[in-house]
Amino acid sequence: MRRLSLFLLAILLSTPLGAQRAPRQGSGQAALSSKPDTPFKLATFEALGKTRVGLLVGDRLLDIAGANAAVTQRAGVPAMRIPTEMRELIEAYPRVSPRLYQVANYFKDPKVDAAPFAFEVSKVAIKAPIKYPYNLLAAAANYKLHAGEMFPPGSPQQKAALEADQDKEDPVFFAKSPRSCIIDPDEPYSMPPGRNIDWEGELAIIVGKPAFNVTEAQAHDYVFGYSVMYDLSDRGGRGRRPLTGMFGGPNWFAGKSTDKCAPFGPFIVPKEFAPNPPHFHIVTKVNGVVKQDGNTANWIWDEAHMVRYLTSILTLYPGDVISSGTPDGVGAGRKPPEFLKPGDVVTIEIDGIGMLRTPMRAAAAPATP
**Residue-wise pLDDT tens digits, 118-171:** 999 999 999 999 999 999 999 999 999 999 999 888 999 889 988 999 999 999
For residue 22, tell me if it sits in a domain: no
Distance CA(235)–CA(39), nearest Å, equals: 39
| Of the residues 93, 127, 161, the one at which a domain ends | 127
Asked if residue 327 and residue 216 are part of one domain, the reply reads yes
Q: How far is CA 165 from the centre of its chain?
A: 28
Asked if residue 110 and residue 67 are part of one domain, the reply reads yes
Distance CA(100)–CA(118), nearest Å, equals: 15
| Of the residues 66, 96, 127, the one at which a domain ends | 127
**Residue-wise pLDDT tens digits, 68-92:** 999 999 999 999 999 999 999 999 9
For residue 3, tell me if it sits in a domain: no
Percent helix, strand and coil across the chain, each to the nearest 5: 25, 30, 45
Asked if residue 143 and residue 116 are part of one domain, the reply reads no
Asked if residue 99 and residue 161 are part of one domain, the reply reads no
Q: Report the CATH number at residue 268.
A: 3.90.850.10
**Residue-wise pLDDT tens digits, 182-202:** 999 999 999 999 999 999 999
Asked if residue 109 and residue 49 are part of one domain, the reply reads yes
> Which domain range does residue 116 map to?
29-127
For residue 243, tell me if it sits in a domain: no
Asked whether residue 94 carries a pLDDT value surpassing 80, the answer given is yes
Which positions ≥6 away from 124 have C-beta within 8 Å? 45, 46, 47, 61
2 pLDDT tier (thresholds 50, 70, 90): very low
Which positions ≥6 away from 32 have C-beta within 8 Å? 25, 71, 75, 77, 102, 105, 106
Distance CA(80)–CA(119), nearest Å, equals: 23
- Calculate helix-pair angle for 93-106, 64-75, nearest 10 degrees: 70
| DSSP-assigned letter for residue 150 | T
Q: Which residues of 69-104 are buried (b: 16+ CB within 10 A; e: fewer)?
A: ebbbeebbbeeeebbeebbebbbebeebbebbbbbb
Q: Is the peptide bond before 318 cis (omega within 30 degrees of 0)?
A: no
Do 230 and 346 contact (CB within 8 A), yes or no? yes
Tally Cβ neighbours within 10 Å of residue 313: 12
Q: Report the CATH number at residue 39.
A: 2.30.30
Nearest to 234 by CA among 263, 268, 200: 200
**Residue-wise pLDDT tens digits, 326-357:** 999 999 999 999 999 999 999 999 999 999 99
For residue 9, tell me if it sits in a domain: no
Q: What pTM was computed for the model? A: 0.91
**Residue-wise pLDDT tens digits, 129-142:** 999 999 999 999 99
225 pLDDT tier (thresholds 50, 70, 90): very high
| Total of domains in the chain | 2
Asked if residue 62 and residue 189 are part of one domain, the reply reads no
Report the SS3 class of residue 47.
Answer: strand
Asked if residue 311 and residue 278 are part of one domain, the reply reads yes
Asked if residue 287 and residue 217 are part of one domain, the reply reads yes
- pLDDT value of position 263: 98
Asked if residue 311 and residue 203 are part of one domain, the reply reads yes
- pLDDT value of position 17: 29
- pLDDT value of position 367: 63
Asked if residue 171 and residue 77 are part of one domain, the reply reads no
For residue 293, tell me if it sits in a domain: yes
| Of the residues 63, 97, 127, the one at which a domain ends | 127
For residue 343, tell me if it sits in a domain: yes
Asked if residue 64 and residue 91 are part of one domain, the reply reads yes
Distance CA(207)–CA(363), nearest Å, equals: 34
Nearest to 200 by CA among 278, 270, 279, 255: 255
Distance CA(235)–CA(251), nearest Å, equals: 10
Asked if residue 339 and residue 317 are part of one domain, the reply reads yes
For residue 56, tell me if it sits in a domain: yes
For residue 23, tell me if it sits in a domain: no
